[in-house]
C-alpha cells in the first residue's frame, strides 16, 4: 500500500510545546474516551529514546508496507503509550483500520523503531459539528466524507509531537489549518487548530 512513513527530522517550529498532556484513563471508564486526540510525551520515558525521537533522521524512501505491517507498528506504538495501552484489540477496527485502509495515516520513524503515527480525516459539516461537540469515534464513511481537515489522532509516546504536527502541516495540509482535540490539564477535551503560520 502507499502508506506514509517518514523519519523524524531535526527540531523545527510547530505547535506550542505547552500543549497539555492528555489525562490518563481511569478504571471503570472507556479508555478510548481519553485516547483520542494529540498525545504529549509521558513522564518517566527513557531519555535516550526520547532524544532519538526528537533528533531523528532524514526522510528516506522505503519499500511500501502491507496493511498488516502498518497495523503491527501502530499496535506496538499503542503498547508504548500510557494513554493508549488500555485500548482493546477490538478498538483497532474503528480506531486504526479506517485511516490505514484509506491511506490517511503517517508513521514517523526514529533511528531504530517507529516513534509516532498520525491519523487524519476530511469530514463533512455534520461530522465537524459532532467532533466540535466532543465526539471522537468516526464511522467508516466519515473519515473521507467532506473537505474539513481534522487530525483525529497523534500517538507520540516518546515525544516529538511538535515536529510531527509541523510535518503534517507541510506535507498533508499545506496552506490550510487543521483541527484536533487536545485534553487539558484538568481532563477536559477542547478543540484546537494548527495553522500553516505556526510552522514558519
- Does residue 119 surpass a pLDDT of 90? yes
Q: What is the pLDDT of residue 52?
A: 47
Higher pLDDT: 78 or 63? It is: 78
Neighbours of 168 (CB within 10 A): 25
Residue 140, SS3 per DSSP: helix
Contact call for residues 124 and 146 (beta carbons, < 8 A): yes
Pairwise CA distance, residues 133 & 12, whole Å: 32
Which three three-digit cell numbers place residue 152? 483525529
Claim: this prediction has a pTM higher than 0.85:
no
CA 72 and chain centroid, separation? 16
How confident is the model over 121-179, as pLDDT tens digits?
999 999 999 999 989 899 999 999 999 999 999 999 999 999 999 999 999 999 899 99
Q: What is the pLDDT of residue 187?
A: 74
How confident is the model over 160-173, as pLDDT tens digits?
999 999 999 999 99
Query: Chain-wide mean pLDDT for the chain?
Result: 77
Contact call for residues 17 and 36 (beta carbons, < 8 A): no
- Give the least confident one: 6-20, 77-91, 94-108, 170-184: 6-20
Domain ranges of the chain: 5-10+30-199
Please identify which residue in the block is written with the cell numbers 465537524. Answer: 128
Q: What is the pLDDT of residue 7?
A: 45
Beta strands in the chain (DSSP E): 5-7, 37-38, 105-109, 114-123, 148-155, 178-183, 189-194
Please identify which residue in the block is written with the cell numbers 523503531. Answer: 113
Mean pLDDT of 114-125: 98
How confident is the model over 6-36, as pLDDT tens digits?
444 322 223 333 333 332 223 344 445 445 5
Amino acid at each position: 500500500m502507499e502508506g506514509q512513513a517518514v523519519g523524524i527530522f531535526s527540531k523545527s517550529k510547530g505547535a506550542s510545546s505547552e500543549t497539555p498532556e492528555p489525562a490518563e484513563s481511569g478504571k471503570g471508564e472507556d479508555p478510548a474516551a481519553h485516547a483520542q486526540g494529540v498525545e504529549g510525551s509521558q513522564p518517566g520515558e527513557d531519555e535516550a529514546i526520547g532524544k532519538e525521537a526528537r533528533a531523528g533522521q532524514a526522510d528516506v524512501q522505503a519499500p511500501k508496507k502491507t496493511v498488516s505491517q502498518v497495523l503491527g507498528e501502530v499496535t506496538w506504538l499503542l503498547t508504548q503509550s500510557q494513554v493508549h495501552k488500555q485500548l482493546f484489540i477490538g478498538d483497532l477496527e474503528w480506531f486504526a483500520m479506517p485511516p490505514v485502509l484509506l491511506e490517511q495515516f503517517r508513521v514517523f520513524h526514529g533511528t531504530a523503531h517507529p516513534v509516532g503515527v498520525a491519523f487524519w480525516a476530511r469530514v463533512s459539516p455534520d461530522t465537524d459539528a459532532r467532533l466540535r461537540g466532543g465526539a471522537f469515534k468516526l464511522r467508516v464513511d466519515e473519515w473521507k466524507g467532506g473537505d474539513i481537515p481534522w487530525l483525529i489522532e497523534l500517538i507520540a509516546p516518546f515525544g516529538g509531537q511538535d515536529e510531527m504536527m509541523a510535518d503534517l502541516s507541510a506535507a498533508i495540509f499545506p496552506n490550510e489549518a487543521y483541527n484536533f482535540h487536545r485534553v487539558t490539564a484538568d481532563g477536559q477535551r477542547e478543540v484546537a487548530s494548527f495553522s500553516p503560520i505556526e510552522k514558519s
